[in-house]
Structure 1
Amino acid sequence: MANPEPAAPLLIKRYASRRLYNTETSDYVTLEDIAGFIRDGREVKIVDLKTGDDLTRQYLLQIIAEHESRGESVLPVDVLTDLVRSYTTQAQSVVPQFLAASFEMLREGQSKMMERMTEMSNPMSRMPGFDQLQRQQQAFLKAMMGGWGSGTSGPEAETQTDSKAPPPADGDMEEIRRQLAALQKRISKL
């Protein structure tokens, strides 16, 4: 499966008055609006209307400076000091690649951590036959709640109202009990 093509950057034009104009929504935006677009995962490109110069870097640095000055510090002083040094030394050629690689590793790490947390939140979902068991449990709950009417709430009530199927026959209930017992044995072996 091919990766979807990334969306074109949101084009922001800076007028001579220094106002920033969102070309997609045809309205003026602030630096905080632009920071919000970026936090939402959108790429942004800011250009000077008259000259066509790309001002994106300048405005991104301004957004960072404003957040740092408000006490929302993300960059420790030693990192900022090293950045300033990198502009005056031979390290200038290495620092951009290092920073890009570091942030890529951070993004990948966050992504993997979210995947693991999702897996850990329901470890049984990886067990073979889990979907079938879940359907059977819903049928069992539906059968057990069948006589209780509309006073139920939560997932049981949803499964009860999902279909108007008759409650399972005694043979079906016995099969559900047998499969539930087999599942309990499997779980106890884990």
Structure 2
Amino acid sequence: MAETAKDAKPLLIKRYASRRLYNTETSDYVTLEDIAGFIRDGREVQIIDLKSGDDLTRQYLLQIIAEHESRGESVLPIDVLTDLVRSYTTSAQSVVPQFLAASFEMLREGQSKMMENFSSFPNPMASMPGFDALQRQQQAFLKSMMSGWPGAAEDSDDANQTASGDRDDLAAIKKQLAELQSKLSKL
């Protein structure tokens, strides 16, 4: 049975005194952008200080988020950032982590449902020339967008779904989409 991202051991990154980050799996140095890529690919990452053994994961994840936000890749609205700052000085500090975790879990589930529902709606553009190419691009985009969300492709009843199960699901979705396109073209 294939190992899922949730079952896999985290990718261990060691920070040397020179502040360079070392990937212990590939035995090479990595950047923050490399680490962000591992995470987008569904990997769990743990960053430790080689000398002290301190876990630096949170610090580096926050740095990755700050760099993306400063480059204009804003995901966090000002209101949310303000509320987060406030939560550090209020009694809300104890409930904020659970609330955020539950909110992101709902987001992941919503994205999974969106992908399921996406294939069930007839598309009036199916008869348009070049639609197939556009559809392939859209599927590739959605796949890349969803790849950063662990559990996005998982069935809620079977969290340990294998890669062949994912291919079967994709084949079923393609079949449903083809059937819908056929029905639409008959209208």
User: Would the TM-score normalized by the shorter structure come out above 0.5?
Assistant: yes
Residue of structure 1 equivalent to 2:56: 55
Aligned length: 122
Q: Percent identity?
A: 86
Supply the distance in 2 between the matched residues of 1:62 and 1:91 (Cα, whole angstroms).
24
Q: Where do residues 1-190 of structure 1 align in structure 2 (5 Å cutoff)?
A: 6-120=7-121
When residues 121 and 60 of structure 1 are mapped into structure 2, their CA distance, relative to the original with a 3 A threshold, is farther
Supply the distance in 2 between the matched residues of 1:13 and 1:115 (Cα, whole angstroms).
39
Supply the distance in 2 between the matched residues of 1:121 and 1:105 (Cα, whole angstroms).
26
Supply the distance in 2 between the matched residues of 1:121 and 1:26 (Cα, whole angstroms).
49
Supply the distance in 1 between the matched residues of 2:118 and 2:50 (Cα, whole angstroms).
46
Between structure 1 and structure 2, the one with the greater Rg is 1
Unpaired segments ≥5 residues, structure 1 = 123-186
Supply the distance in 2 between the matched residues of 1:107 and 1:52 (Cα, whole angstroms).
33
- When normalised by structure 2's length, the TM-score is 0.61
When residues 25 and 86 of structure 1 are mapped into structure 2, their CA distance, relative to the original with a 3 A threshold, is same
When residues 118 and 28 of structure 1 are mapped into structure 2, their CA distance, relative to the original with a 3 A threshold, is same
Supply the distance in 2 between the matched residues of 1:56 and 1:120 (Cα, whole angstroms).
42
Supply the distance in 1 between the matched residues of 2:122 and 2:19 (Cα, whole angstroms).
49
Letter in 2 for 1:24: E
Partner deviation per Cα, 1:5-63 (whole Å, 9 max, x = no partner)? 61111000000000000000000000000000001111000000011110000000000
Bigger RCO (CA 8 Å, 6+ sep):
2
Unpaired segments ≥5 residues, structure 2 = 124-182
Letter in 2 for 1:87: Y
- Runs ≥4 residues deviating over 6 A: none
TM-align CA RMSD? 2.0
More helix by share: 1
Offset of 1:113 from its aligned partner? 1.1
Offset of 1:118 from its aligned partner? 3.4
Supply the distance in 1 between the matched residues of 2:69 and 2:122 (Cα, whole angstroms).
35
- When normalised by structure 1's length, the TM-score is 0.60
Partner deviation per Cα, 1:85-138 (whole Å, 9 max, x = no partner)? 00000000010000000000000110111122234479xxxxxxxxxxxxxxxx
